[in-house]
Amino acid sequence: MKLIIGDYNYSTWSMRPWLYVHKHGLPVEVKRYDLFSEDLRQVLLERFSNDKVPVLLDGATEVWDSLAILEYLGERFPDSKPWPEDTEARAVARSVSAEMHSSFGALRNEAPMNLRRQFPGYRLSEEAIADVGRVQAVWRYCREGFANDGPWLFGEFTIADVMYAPVVMRFRSIPVNLDDDAAGYCSTVESDPSVREWIRRGLEETHRVDEDELDWPSKPVTEI
Ligand SMILES: N[C@@H](CCC(=O)N[C@@H](CS)C(=O)NCC(=O)O)C(=O)O
């Protein structure tokens, strides 16, 4: 099985299946390309999946769009326990994962993931601040209702956590007001060894994508 991804520094959608693969040690070969590069364009041209990463190739089977890839990995490797066992928890986990996939447009547009830079004093719009509030409400709802003693949204690590991991990465770069519970969940994500490995790879990259760079004074990030 092969997973085609973009830059570690910028590609939020790539981060999600990569994190699932890495954390569970799944036998998936990762092929990383510079976003918008000719090499990536050529690779994707051979595929039906259009012009976006991530893409998962499993023999003749091609799976695209991050949430579909995660569902497929969960089916192929059920021991990785993609979703909570409890029916209600599983329904909520699927809901918040789908919500991340389809919503939060303002936050996504205004605060691209950029592991290498921090933007002190950067101001989000009211709409994006509302997105930050909704993210925190989602985390609180999951953790209060379903996490029991585990550190992840549903106690154990599930697809819901990988769906929200890139938001935690965005919060590293821009100033946001987080309540203590949300800050605690961010620490759980940021201290995870696989997340740290993703950040390490992002910090090592030098490829720059202009449209993902904020027009705001920044300082470099040197530590994971
Ligand atoms: N909904 C898609 C989004 C994929 C996507 O937008 N990928 C970005 C990288 S993070 C991309 O390939 N951008 C290149 C382009 O838009 O041409 C998913 O969940 O996989």
Q: Tell me the pLDDT of the chain (224 aa) as tens digits.
A: 999 999 999 999 999 999 999 999 999 999 999 999 999 999 999 899 888 999 999 999 999 999 999 999 999 999 999 999 999 999 999 999 999 999 999 999 999 999 999 999 999 999 999 999 999 999 999 999 999 989 999 999 999 999 999 999 999 999 999 999 999 999 999 999 999 999 999 999 999 999 999 999 999 998 89
pLDDT of residue 69: 98
Q: What is the pLDDT of residue 50?
A: 81
Distance 110 CA to ligand 1 centre (A): 16
* C-alpha of residue 54 to centroid of ligand 1, in Å: 7
Which ligand 1 atom is the nearest neighbour of the CA of 54? Answer: 20
Q: Does ligand 1 come within 6 angstroms of the Cβ of 13?
A: yes
Bridge-partner residues for 2, per DSSP? 29, 57
Fold of 87-203: Glutathione S-transferase Yfyf (Class Pi); Chain A, domain 2 (1.20.1050)
Residue 83: CA atoms inside 13 Å, Cβ hemisphere, count? 21
Judge if 2-80 and 87-203 fold alike in CATH terms: no
Closest CA to ligand 1's atom 9: 11
Domain boundaries, the chain: 2-80, 87-203
Region 2-80: CATH code: 3.40.30.10
pLDDT of residue 159: 98
Q: Which residues of 72-104 are buried (b: 16+ CB within 10 A; e: fewer)?
A: bbbebbeebebbbeeeebbebbbebbebbbeeb
Catalogue the long-range contacts made by 61-68 (C-beta closer than 8 Å, 24 or more residues apart): 66/13, 66/14, 66/16, 66/17, 66/101, 66/163, 67/16, 67/97, 67/98, 67/101, 67/159, 67/163
For ligand 1, mutation pick of 3, 4, 19, 53 (most atoms within 8 Å of CB): 53
Question: Phi then psi for 138, rounded to 5 degrees?
Answer: -60, -50
| Pocket probe mutation, ligand 1, options 9, 12, 13, 67, max atoms within 8 Å of Cβ | 13
Q: Is there an atom of ligand 1 within 6 Å of 111 CB?
A: no
Atom 12, ligand 1: which residue's CA is nearest? 52
